[in-house]
């Protein structure tokens, strides 16, 4: 089994201060896909040492924001930084690597952090332009025929079962019809598997993000915005998917919970 974990850490330094190290030891992933790292290469390596991990990282051009990384116990044979849009707001949002499986085959893994956006503002145009670039890359990856997993914080809930208060968010970023249509295309036209939903039941939930504010975590008023997308053959070999929701609000190391998937490769 190959264990792939994805999590928006909301700042890797803060996450480790809150107990991410203990979760990492107990979960023991082979591949770790991180979003909102908010650190430079040196700080990332301080927390995920090169002696234990092969690292690929793209920090955001704006210090202290975004940032995506791949930490792998499998050897990395190629690293590709960015999605190619050239927009400053897209930096720190896509990193991709080819990992060598024990039998010598290559697995493509990518960590992605999609803009949150705000409905009716220029930030939504930025989000849609980035999603267009992601769509083109997903098409290229699946067309290559090899196994691949693309995971991260997409900042989009796909269906009404993917957020608690869906009626109150129909006009808000993260649940707009135009955003959800991208996921329709990825799953229905390009053939990517939504592993978390396929193995997580019909819903509602399980959710992956809860606001730090109020009692959202305690009442499970969350959103499922963190995904693992797998190419068709790999998706069929996904054996289990777990959202590692913390036992209590005080034990959270991020406002997101890790999504952990075991693949029978």
Contact between 95 and 68 (Cβ < 8 Å): yes
Q: Which candidate, 184, 214, 225, 238, places its Cα nearest to that of 35? A: 225
Domain ranges of the chain: 2-263
Which is nearest to 70 in space by CA: 58, 60, 61, 83? 58
pLDDT in tens, 184-229: 999 999 999 999 999 999 999 999 999 999 999 999 999 999 999 9
Find all residues with CB under 8 Å of 142, minimum gap 6, and list them: 148, 190, 191, 192, 231, 232
Q: Are strands 76-81 and 31-35 parallel, antiparallel or unpaired?
A: unpaired
**Residue 203 token pair:** 């819903």
pLDDT band at 64, cuts 50/70/90? Answer: confident
Q: Say yes or no to pLDDT of 85 above 90.
A: no
For residue 45, list its beta bridge partners. Answer: none
Please give the pLDDT value at position 40.
Answer: 95
Q: Counting beta carbons within 10 angstroms of the beta carbon of residue 125, is it exposed (0 to 12), middle (13 to 18) or buried (19 or more)?
A: exposed
Question: pLDDT class for 86, splitting at 50, 70, 90?
Answer: confident
Coarse DSSP helix, strand, coil percentages of the chain, rounded to the nearest 5 percent: 30, 25, 45
Residue 58, pLDDT above cutoff 90: yes
Q: Which CATH number fits domain 2-263: 1.10.10.60, 3.40.50.12280, 3.90.550.10, 3.60.10.10?
A: 3.60.10.10
* Percent of the chain scoring above 90 in pLDDT: 96
Question: Is 244 among the catalytic positions?
Answer: no
Spell out the residues 6+ positions from residue 143 whose beta carbon is closer than 8 angstroms to its own.
Answer: none
Distance CA 181, CA 184 (A): 5
The pLDDT score that the predictor gives to residue 63 is: 84
Among 30, 40, 90, 153, the one annotated catalytic: 153
- How many angstroms separate the CA atoms of 241 and 178, rounded? 27
| Token pair recorded at residue 49 | 């040492």
Long-range contacts of 45-53 (CB under 8 A, 24+ apart): 47/12, 47/13, 47/16, 47/21
| Range of weakest confidence among 36-40, 83-87, 110-114, 144-148 | 83-87
Give the residue-averaged pLDDT of 155-162.
Answer: 98
Per-residue pLDDT at 62: 85
DSSP state of 188: I
DSSP at 214: T
pLDDT above 70 covers a percentage of the chain that reads 100
pLDDT at residue number 135: 98
Q: Is the pLDDT of residue 163 over 90?
A: yes
Whether 84 shows a pLDDT value over 90: the answer reads no
Q: Which of 19, 114, 128 is nearest to 66 (CA)?
A: 114
Residue showing tokens 């290469």: 41
Confidence (pLDDT) at 258: 98
Answer with the residue of higher pLDDT: 87 or 192: 192
Dihedral (CA of 214, 220, 222, 226) sign: positive
């Amino acid at each position: 089994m190959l264990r792939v974990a994805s999590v928006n850490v909301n700042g890797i330094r803060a996450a480790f201060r809150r107990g991410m190290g203990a979760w990492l030891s107990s979960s023991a992933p082979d591949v770790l896909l991180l979003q909102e790292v908010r650190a430079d290469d040196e700080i990332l390596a301080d927390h995920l040492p090169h002696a234990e991990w092969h690292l690929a990282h793209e920090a955001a051009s704006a210090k202290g924001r975004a940032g995506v990384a791949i930490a792998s116990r499998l050897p990395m044979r190629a690293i590709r930084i960015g999605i190619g849009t050239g927009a400053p707001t897209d930096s720190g949002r896509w990193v991709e690597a080819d990992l060598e499986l024990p039998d010598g085959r290559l697995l493509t893994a990518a960590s992605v952090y999609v803009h949150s956006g705000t409905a009716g503002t220029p930030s939504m145009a930025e989000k849609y332009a980035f999603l267009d670039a992601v769509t083109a890359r997903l098409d290229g990856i699946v067309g290559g025929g090899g196994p691949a997993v693309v995971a991260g914080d997409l900042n989009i809930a796909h269906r009404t079962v993917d957020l608690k208060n869906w009626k109150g968010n129909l006009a808000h970023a993260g649940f707009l019809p135009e955003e959800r249509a991208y996921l329709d295309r990825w799953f229905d036209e390009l053939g990517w598997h939504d592993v978390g939903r396929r193995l997580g039941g019909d819903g509602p939930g399980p959710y992956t993000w809860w606001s730090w504010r109020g009692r959202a975590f305690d009442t499970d008023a969350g959103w499922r915005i963190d995904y693992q997308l797998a190419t068709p053959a790999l998706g069929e070999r996904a054996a289990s998917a777990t959202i590692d929701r913390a036992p209590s609000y005080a034990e959270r190391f991020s406002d997101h919970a890790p999504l952990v998937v075991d693949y029978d490769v």
